Amino acid sequence: MNILDKITIDKRKEVALRKSLIPVSQLEKSVLFERQTVSLANNLRNSKSGIIAEHKRRSPSKSVINNSLNVQDVAKGYQDAGVCGMSVLTDGKYFGGSLDDLLTARASCNLPLLRKEFIIDEYQMLEAKAYGADVILLIAAILSRDEIKQFSEFAKSLKLDVLLEVHNEEELHKSVMPSLDMLGVNNRNLKTFNVSLETSKNLSKLIPNDFVKVSESGISSIEAIKELQPFGYQGFLIGENFMKTDNPGASATTFIKTLEQ
């Protein structure tokens, strides 16, 4: 069983518990539920850099990345750096995140926020909306075509942008549908954890131009972005690169300035 299967099994238990504790009606009463969302896809289309910067404390592949920073400082720093959006990991067991991180980020910046989560239930999208997210992530590897359709259409009804993540051609073919805004290619092989930008390059020509193309994982240099831009990528999700420094905002600022020169 690979790590994704393990996470998904745990996630089903976790979501069942959360649903039993907090009813949908309570989520819908949240102050943030009525908030006007901001489109990450539009930001990426109109940006020179296309950076989506992440808040991530740890990961199964790297263990601890940075436990000492507070979300508020990271969110403010990213906004000052001029990123297009911020990704907030909300999985607790494997990534050390929480929905409270999303709430704190929302209170600290005006960026479009992506709830980075393993979504297996519509309930998690209602949570995302109630805690201030603008975008949700759907992972093709853990969902059927019907689920992708159901979840993406539900997200659109909540005025949330949808980023769908694929790892290979097979996942891409089952996923392309009008209710998505962005198609993300994850360069990390989830079975081996090896990272290769060739994944993004090879899949780029199969992604219709109606979608914003986003490359994820293993993007730690300006060169990597310059290498991927000719393949039509407008979004670049950067997780560990900024987070492993003492000041992710300053690190993102330098990165974006250099990239836009």
- Tell whether the model's pLDDT for residue 191 goes beyond 80: no
Q: What is the pLDDT of residue 124?
A: 98
Q: What is the pLDDT of residue 36?
A: 97
Q: What is the pLDDT of residue 16?
A: 98
193 or 98, greater pLDDT: 98
- Average pLDDT, stretch 167-179? 97
- Average pLDDT, stretch 127-132? 98
Q: What is the pLDDT of residue 194?
A: 87
pTM: 0.96
Write out pLDDT tens, residues 197-233. Answer: 999 999 999 999 999 999 999 899 999 999 999 999 9
- What ranges make up the beta strands (E) of 140-211? 161-166, 182-186
Q: What is the pLDDT of residue 161?
A: 98
Write out pLDDT tens, residues 44-93. Answer: 999 999 999 999 998 887 778 878 789 999 999 999 999 999 999 999 99
- Average pLDDT, stretch 19-27? 98
Q: What is the pLDDT of residue 61?
A: 74
Question: In this structure, are strands 58-59 and 63-64 parallel, antiparallel, or unpaired?
Answer: antiparallel
Write out pLDDT tens, residues 113-127. Answer: 999 999 999 999 999
Residue 214: burial class (beta carbons within 10 Å; 0-12, 13-18, 19+): buried
Nearest residue to 43 via CA among 87, 99, 5 = 87
Phi, psi of 113, deg, nearest 5: -110, 130
CA distance 165 to 149: 14
- Tell whether the model's pLDDT for residue 141 goes beyond 90: yes
Query: CA 226, 139, 89 angle in degrees (round to 5)?
Result: 75
Q: What is the pLDDT of residue 189?
A: 83
Which residues are catalytic, by number?
A: 54, 56, 116, 165, 186, 216-217
All domains of the chain in start order, with CATH = 3-260 (3.20.20.70)
